[in-house]
Each structure stands twice: as C-alpha cells, then as structure tokens.
Amino acid sequence: MIFDNAGRQLAEAGHAWTYGAPPDIAPWGREFDADHFWSLLCKATREAMHTADVSPERIAAVATTGQRLATVFLDAAGRELYAAPNLDLRAVLEGTRLLNEYGPRIHAVTGHLPPFLFASARWLWFAAHHPEVCEQTRAVLAINDWLAFRLSGEISGEPTNAAESGLFDVCARDWSDEMCQMAGLRVRDCPPLHRAGEVIGRVTARAAEQTGLAVGTPVVVAGADTSCGLLGMGVIQPGECGVVAGWSAPAQIVTTGPVFDPQAALWTSCHLLPERWILEGNTGPAGSAHRWACNMLFGDADPLKGTGSWGAFDALAAGAPAGAGGALGFLGARIADYNDPRLLWGGWLMPLAGPLDGVGRAELARATYENVAFAVKANLERVGTLAPMSGPVRLGGGLARSQLLPQILADVLGRPVEAHPGHSVSALGAAMCAAAGVNFEGDVARAASAMLRVESAQWLEPRRKAQAEYLDAFERWTRAYTGLAQLSEQL
C-alpha cells in the first residue's frame, strides 16, 4: 500500500497466498514458501506503484508490518530454513511442557501464555525433530522483520513483535537471557532491537530489481500488524482503546507501564511508542468466522469481493432486530483466556419455539455480528478491571468495513465507537513509521499526528433502545458461553 505524507492512501495491491503442511507436521503445523511469498510481494509492490502512477524515486521510505507470532529462521547466508505463519501449532507438546514446568515464570517475564504459540516452543520442536535446523540458524525473525531483511539485507527486530516470541522481557523491553536459555536458544540468534521509526538500512540493488523500488530507498522499522493498527487509529494515550478486527479482534488498552493479569488470561505487550505498553484480550477468530458465515449464508462467498460482500451481509443482518430474534452466535469470537486455550464448541443457538419461523438467514447473520460485539465487550470488561479505559473504542481492520457492525458494537458497549473503514489501519501505521524515519526525526507520535485521517472516521453513538435490548442479550450470551465451555470439557 502507498500513502502520502498526509496519510492519504494512493494505491494498494495484493495477492492471495496459502500455507502448506509437510507430512511430519500435519495436520497442526503450517509453513510457507518464502521465495514464493516474496515474489508475490514484489509483484504487488510494482502494481501499487503503477496504480498510483508514482515513480520509484518518489517513494520516500518503506516499512513492513505483518502478523504476530509468524516466525522465520535464517542461516548465516540469509537463507530461510523455516518460515511459518501464526497458525503453526507443531509445538503443542513442547509448549505444554514449558507451561507445566515454568508457566508462572514465563508469564512474569514475557506477559504471555501459552508458550506453544511462540518461537520459543517452535525452537524446542526443531531441537527435538530437526536439530540440524537449530545448528544452522543464525537469526530468529518475525515475518515483517524478515521482509525488512529481504529489502535491506539488515537483520533487525522490534519490541512489539519480539514481545510475541516467548523470548522477550516485556518490562525491560529487551531479549531475556532466562527465556532463551529455557528454550535452548542462543541470545545472539535474536536480532538487535530497534525502535519504530528508525532507519535500519536501504533497499539493496537486488531488492530494487525485484520490487521496482529505487536503490537506496530508506527501510524503516515498523512493528506488528495490531500495533501498527493502533497507531493508524491514533490509539496512543493511556486509557485509549483500539480493536483491530481482522482475522481476530484483539481488544487493547494503552498503559503507561506493563500491567499483568494475575489470572494470566490476558497478554501484556509493548506499544510502538517506547513509553507505552498494552493490555490485551483477544476474541480469536472474528473475521474468519464472518467469512465462514458468508459462505454458509451466501454459498461460495468472499466478504472482500464478489458474492457475500460486506454490503450484502450487512443488508441481510439489518433485516433482523437487535437481539437477532433470540438467536445467539458462537462462531469463533470468544472471551480471552490465554491460560486455557482449549477447544470450544459453538455455532448458532436459537429458541426452539414452534416451527422456528422467528429465525432465518437475517437473524443468523445479525447473530454473527452480535457474537463479535459481545466477545469484544466481555474482553474489554476483563481488561478494564486492570487498565481503566477512556474515550471511544476505535475500530479498524477488515470488519470495520461493515456499515452495521460498528453501530452494533456501540449499542452493545454503551459507548461511542470511532470506526476507521476507509483503509488498512495497520498499513497506515506502518506508513507513519516510515514517515517518522525520513520526515519527523524518528518521532513516531509526530508522524501519527500529521497523518491520522480523522475526517474519514465514522462516529457512532449508542442508541438507547438497542442498548437496552443488548443488556439482556449479552447476559444470555454470557450464560450460554459458560454452558458451552462446560459442555466442551465433556466433549
């Protein structure tokens, strides 16, 4: 995506990618072809510049952002030995062992559980199954730090992604010798850390040939997608809250220092600004559940284009009243409890009165949206007991494109919602970091202030009647959620 200095999006381009599962890690493990992914990104870069009619020389700087928990191992020559998305669950056994033996200490240092999601457990898996990979590895990178390496040839890391590795001291904002030793990993294999907004290198001749960017274009440090998303919505001050609702929908509140959940149900992470931290409750698969519901209700659908679009789904859901005629959705979005990542059963629940005339496709569509809103509310209530919230809830990510969901969220929360539907807030946050590196002397907060697109945001106030309806519906959803959790233990 290309933005100008005022934060206006000039162009975007993208290509779908898929993950593979080699036989020794199927069905839980996932990997990706690094060369193929890089070729798609290079193609998209050229297409975006063509669409914007921007010459390579006019690109002032480039920054990368990407999904948290995704990991790439590089050897001494910079070749990828392992590249996997956040969905790679090969290390469940190794992570469970870490949790059983060191769980409280891991949470006290990293602010994160359970360990099997993180690079620390994946390293243990490779040590047990492919020790030659560990022997050859010289750098353990987050996915966007790997992309920055591909662009500049420079190995680097950054706190918002490092905090999701299981190897990071979230209070010290530095790699933890203790956590690295626990995983059997050498601290020197963790990349040197830089702040967001720092120029770490320049586009190499090889990368320029592949991407179409100009040789020497500054490469600037950005951060994880969710962290960049908060920046792109202007969620900077203590107490401010943001929900970047894409595949998942993490509800995050900014704090002035690290805040730890005594129950270890929440995550403590770093903000892109060095004097800020984040406390997070993640609903889990919110956007992916919406896509699944689109497919169920519209057939073979893609909510981003074609059949089952946002407009069609919104129109269907808008045909049902608040409370969805009694129907309740449990399609992935959940109450965060990272200390208990068990499988939950779910679906649509509905009152079985008479011939079910009161529940149709419209009610099921609305229940899908309400499921997301109820899960966000439950997570914000949990986070809010430890980190007080102020102001509106800012909503970005793919689900913010809906015209209906932000209003439902405002009604459910009983609090104003500021929706940012016009662009990718994560990409805008990365662009803010890039601008900080070349225009604002590395000051990310100044860059964010200059580029924040407040005029494109939508402000939604809670509606009194709907708010009253949702008080009862949320209580029923919470009781049903508890009952399904108990049922899941039996199943």
Tens-place pLDDT, residues 80-105:
999 999 999 999 999 999 999 999 99
Cα separation, 241 vs 393, whole angstroms: 5
Burial of 472 (0-12, 13-18, 19+ CB in 10 A): exposed
Cα separation, 401 vs 415, whole angstroms: 19
Contact criterion met (CB below 8 Å) for 433 and 231: yes
Amino acid residing at 318:
A
Determine the pLDDT at residue 307.
Answer: 45
pLDDT tens-digit readout, 181-216? 999 998 889 999 999 999 999 999 999 999 999 999
Determine the pLDDT at residue 357.
Answer: 67
Nearest to 435 by CA among 206, 270, 232: 232
Of the chain, the end-to-end C-alpha distance in Å amounts to 45
Total residues found in the chain within this entry: 491
DSSP string computed for 361-403: HHHHHHHHHHHHHHHHHHHHHHHHTTS---SPEEEESGGGG-S
Cα separation, 408 vs 366, whole angstroms: 9
Dihedral of alpha carbons 388, 391, 397, 403, sign: positive
Domains defined for the chain, CATH in brackets: 2-223 (3.30.420.40), 224-491 (3.30.420.40)
pLDDT grade, residue 306 (50/70/90)?
very low
For the segment 35-53, the average pLDDT, to the nearest whole number, is 97
Cα separation, 238 vs 126, whole angstroms: 40
SS3 191: coil
H helical segments located in 69-204? 92-110, 119-129, 131-136, 143-152, 159-162, 177-183
Omega before residue 421 within 30° of 0, cis = no
In the predicted structure, residue 154 carries a pLDDT above the cut 90: yes
Determine the pLDDT at residue 356.
Answer: 61
pLDDT tens-digit readout, 236-250? 999 999 999 988 999
Which tokens hold the place of 353? 């009165």
In the predicted structure, residue 301 carries a pLDDT above the cut 80: no
Nearest to 337 by CA among 85, 66, 107, 89: 107
Please state the pTM of the whole predicted model. 0.95
pLDDT tens-digit readout, 108-137? 999 999 998 899 999 999 999 999 999 999
Rounded to the nearest 10 degrees, the angle between the axes of helix 119-129 and helix 92-110 is 140
Determine the pLDDT at residue 353.
Answer: 67
Contact criterion met (CB below 8 Å) for 466 and 411: yes
Q: Provide the β-strand partners of residue 9.
A: 3
For the segment 387-412, the average pLDDT, to the nearest whole number, is 95
Determine the pLDDT at residue 365.
Answer: 95
Contact criterion met (CB below 8 Å) for 309 and 457: no
In the predicted structure, residue 388 carries a pLDDT above the cut 70: yes
In whole angstroms, what separates CA 321 from the centre of its chain?
31
pLDDT tens-digit readout, 453-476? 888 899 999 999 999 999 999 999
Amino acid residing at 37:
F
Q: Provide the β-strand partners of residue 394.
A: 242, 418
C-beta neighbour count of 35 within 10 angstroms: 11
Cα separation, 152 vs 204, whole angstroms: 5
pLDDT tens-digit readout, 335-348? 888 767 667 888 99
In the predicted structure, residue 300 carries a pLDDT above the cut 70: no
Contact criterion met (CB below 8 Å) for 216 and 234: no
pLDDT grade, residue 304 (50/70/90)?
very low
pLDDT grade, residue 256 (50/70/90)?
very high
Contact criterion met (CB below 8 Å) for 90 and 133: no
For the segment 32-59, the average pLDDT, to the nearest whole number, is 97
Determine the pLDDT at residue 303.
Answer: 45
Contact criterion met (CB below 8 Å) for 426 and 244: yes
Burial of 195 (0-12, 13-18, 19+ CB in 10 A): middle
Determine the pLDDT at residue 298.
Answer: 82
- Cβ neighbors of 395 (< 8 A, separation 6 or more) are 233, 242, 243, 245, 405, 406, 409, 417, 418, 419, 420
C-beta neighbour count of 82 within 10 angstroms: 21
Nearest to 217 by CA among 201, 197, 202, 199: 202
For the segment 339-367, the average pLDDT, to the nearest whole number, is 81
In percent, the amount of the chain with pLDDT more than 90 equals 81
Determine the pLDDT at residue 297.
Answer: 86
Determine the pLDDT at residue 488.
Answer: 81
Average pLDDT, the chain: 93
DSSP conformational letter for 65: -
